[in-house]
Amino acid sequence: KTKTISSSQSGTEFYRNATDVLVCGDALLSEDFKSAMAVFRVNRNAEGQYSFYGDNVTGGYIQASSSEKDYMITSPQPAFAAVEIDGGGVADIRFDGGFTHNKLRFYPARNIFSCFEDGQEHVMIFVFPEPEAIHPEIDGATITGEYNLASGATVVLRFPVTEDYNVYQRFIPSEDGENAETVDFAKYRNSDIELSRPGILEYYTEDKGMLAKGLTINSRIHTLAVNSGSSGITAIDCPEAEAVYYNLQGIKVKAPANGIFIRVSGGKASKVVL
C-alpha cells in the first residue's frame, strides 16, 4: 500500500492531496481510480527536462512556486523539472526556475504532496504504457506530420476504428489560432471529417481497457499541420504575419522556450523546437 498524488486539491491551492493505492506487480489498484488518482502526461524538452501535465487535474501543469513556502501549484504554462531516478527507483524531481522550495516530496504528517527545500519522504514514478497512436487517413493512406491542401479543395479524413482505443480530435483553423483554448476535443464516431482550410488537427487515443477499470490513460497529443496550397496567383509581397505559438496540448504560449511548439503564421502551421 502506498500514496499517490490525488486528482483533488487540498484545502488551499498550494498543495495536492494524497490518496491510497495498492501496488501489485506492474499494476496499481484503487477503489476509485477516476476521481482519486492524478494521472500526468509527461513531456520532455530539448534540455532533457520534463513537464507534468495533469489529464484529470484542474489547472494543467504542476510546478514549484516559492522560496519561502512549500508551495506546489498548477499552471496552464509548461513548467519543467530535472528528473533523476536511482537504482532503487527513487525519483529526484526538481523544478526549474529560481525557487528554492523545488523538490517534489510527500509530507506524511499532512498527507499531502508539495515542493520542499529539503527533507520529507522521497517519491517514485509509476509509468503506464502509452496507448498506441491512431493516425488519420485520407483515401486510405495514413497521414502524419503535414498535409498540403490544394487551393479550393476539400478532403475527407477518417480515423481507423479499433476495439481497443477511442480517438479524440479537434481542428483549429489558422485564422482562429487566437481562440484555440475554446476549441474542445470531440470523440471520433466513425464519421467523415472534412478539411477545406489550413490549420492544426490535434488528436489522441484513449485506452478502452483502462477506461473500463475507471482509469483514464491517454496517448500524447499528435498534430497534423494542414497547410494551404498554391492558387496559381502571384502573391503580393507583404510583411509576414506575426507568428502564434501553441504547446502540444493546444494551449497558446506567449513566450515559447525550451520545448517543442506549434507555430502558426501566414496560413501555415509547423512544429518547431525552441
pLDDT tens figures, 237-274? 334 457 777 776 666 777 777 777 777 765 566 667 67
69: its cell numbers: 513556502
Instruction: Assign 231 a pLDDT band (cuts: 50, 70, 90).
Output: very low
Closest CA to 150 of 95, 80, 231, 96: 231
Owner of C-alpha cell 482550410? 197
More confident residue, 50 or 39: 50
**pLDDT mean across residues, the chain:** 80
- For residues 166 and 180, the model is more confident at 166
Percentage of the chain exceeding pLDDT 70: 78
- d(CA 187, CA 170) in angstroms, rounded, equals 9
Distance CA 16, CA 60 (A): 13
147 compared with 216, residue with greater pLDDT = 147
Q: How far is CA 104 from CA 12, 28, 44, 52, in A?
A: 17, 21, 17, 12
| Closest C-alpha to 214, from 62, 74, 61, 56 | 56
Check residue 166 and give its pLDDT.
92
Q: Which pLDDT band holds residue 190 (cuts at 50, 70, 90)? A: confident
DSSP bridge partners of 86: none
Neighbours of 118 (CB within 10 A): 8
